[in-house]
Amino acid sequence: MNTFYQQSLEQQEEQLLRLAYSALPAWGLEGTLSLIKHRENAVYRLETRDNQQYALRIHRANYHSNASLHSELSWVDALQGCGIDVPNAIPTQNGEFFTIASIASVPEPRQIDLLSWVDGKQIGSVEDGLTDSPEQIRKNYYTIGEVAAQIHNQASQWSTPKNFQRHSWDLDGLVGEQPFWGPFWDLQALSTEQRNLILKAREAVRAELKQLSTSPEDYSMIHADLVPENVLVTANSVQIIDFDDAGFGWHLFEIATALYFIQFDPNYETAKQALIDGYRQHRPMPDEKLAHLPQLMMARGFTYLGWAHTRQNTETAQQFTPHLIDLCCKTINQYLPLT
């Protein structure tokens, strides 16, 4: 029999579904699980026998330590305590934020958590860009800007609990010798020309980031994944989900992340201005700081190449790698003359 990582994506998902069901007793729940997304984590909709809905998340093996995952969920809990509408973790019967589950057909024990369900539709996707009308895009991104500012307001004033552990999207984490998501310049799919362009941009970005402040005014815990797939809208609300990549970083990196995958969309300027306007309703973002946005946009592109490099044997990474390379190089060619 093939090992788990030699199996097809469909076969892996069959085993992960079994693992998900095995974890339900930790919450004393029974119900039906249906896969929503399997990229970094496997995320399921749980419909219980009494018609309650939750999101169950199986974490990628060896991405976050138990302490790091506990820290993520404790921060989300603190955000909720400040009135920011984010999904909350449902404690297990033992009062823990998550459980550890294992079955023979999945090689590592996995962290599994259960989150409150959020209704709504994605505002777009990595592949297809934005899907709404310009007016709805303006409305959505204005609200995203407001939420991002509210998150940064909380984080910049929050005293992290003892033993709080999260990664950093800082100088070393983005463009150091061992970036958090991996050495992006080593991605095998890069041509020589592409690699040389990226290495040139890395040096330019590194020089600029050294000048940025890491005071709480500019740098704190951030969501770090405000891509269109993690923004759900209804007729009356916009809600942010998926704090899996949350860590310490520049507030401007948050904005760069929200804009990166839509920067060549026809409605980009509408979305960008609305995002900034919404942000400024709750927190300053002066033009002199926004002038560093191009460097953070390029740095964001580097991280996705690192992600593809460290996961290049997976179907998901193989599917996205050409698009990620193309977008990163287009971003560099657009901004590098400005550095």
What's the CATH code of the domain at 155?
3.90.1200.10
Q: Is the pLDDT of residue 224 over 90?
A: yes
Q: Are residues 130 and 251 in the same domain?
A: yes
Q: What is the pLDDT of residues 24-56, one digit of tens each?
A: 999 999 999 999 988 889 999 999 999 999 999
Q: Are residues 50 and 132 in the same domain?
A: no
Q: Is the pLDDT of residue 184 over 90?
A: yes
SS (H, E, C) 168-223: EECHHHHHCCCCCCCCHHHCCCCCHHHHHHHHHHHHHHHHHHCCCCCCCCCEEEEC
Nearest to 274 by CA among 171, 162, 123: 123
In sequence order, what DSSP letters do the residues of 128-162 get, joined into one string?
TEE-S-HHHHHHHHHHHHHHHHHHHHHHHH--PPT
Q: Are residues 256 and 153 in the same domain?
A: yes
What mean pLDDT do residues 278-303 have? 97
Q: Are residues 276 and 143 in the same domain?
A: yes
Distance CA 299, CA 256 (A): 9
Query: Of 82, 116, 150, which closes a domain?
Result: 116
CA-to-CA separations, 82 to 86, 150, 230, in angstroms, rounded:
10, 9, 21
Average pLDDT, rounded, for the chain = 93
Q: Is the pLDDT of residue 1 over 70?
A: no
Range from 192-196, 225-229, 281-285 carrying the lowest mean pLDDT: 225-229
Q: Are residues 110 and 125 in the same domain?
A: no
Query: Of 116, 148, 168, which closes a domain?
Result: 116
Q: Is the pLDDT of residue 233 over 90?
A: no
- Which residue in this structure is represented by tokens 């500012």? 149
Q: Are residues 64 and 12 in the same domain?
A: yes
- What the block records as the tokens of 162 is 């003892």
Report pLDDT for 167: 97
Q: Are residues 170 and 256 in the same domain?
A: yes
Q: Are residues 100 and 179 in the same domain?
A: no
What's the CATH code of the domain at 33?
3.30.200.20
Q: Are residues 60 and 127 in the same domain?
A: no
CA-to-CA separations, 157 to 42, 143, 148, 250, in angstroms, rounded:
33, 22, 14, 15
Domain that holds residue 172: 121-338
What is the separation of C-alpha 90 from the centre of its chain, rounded to a whole number of angstroms?
20
Domain count, the chain: 2
The number of beta carbons lying within 10 Å of the beta carbon of residue 96 is 15
Three-state secondary-structure class, residue 335: helix
pLDDT grade, residue 123 (50/70/90)? Answer: confident
Q: Is the pLDDT of residue 284 over 60?
A: yes
Q: What is the pLDDT of residues 58-87, one digit of tens each?
A: 999 989 999 999 999 999 999 999 988 899
What mean pLDDT do residues 168-188 have? 97
Q: Are residues 61 and 146 in the same domain?
A: no
Q: Are residues 167 and 301 in the same domain?
A: yes
Distance CA 226, CA 242 (A): 9
Report pLDDT for 2: 59
Amino acid letter, residue 13: E
pTM given for the model: 0.93
Distance CA 132, CA 124 (A): 8
In sequence order, what DSSP letters do the residues of 276-326 get, joined into one string?
HHHHHTTS---HHHHTTHHHHHHHHHHHHHHHHHHTTTSHHHHHHHHHHHH
First to last CA, the chain: 53
pLDDT grade, residue 130 (50/70/90)? Answer: confident
Report pLDDT for 146: 94
What mean pLDDT do residues 236-245 have? 87
Q: Is the pLDDT of residue 256 over 80?
A: yes
Report pLDDT for 338: 56
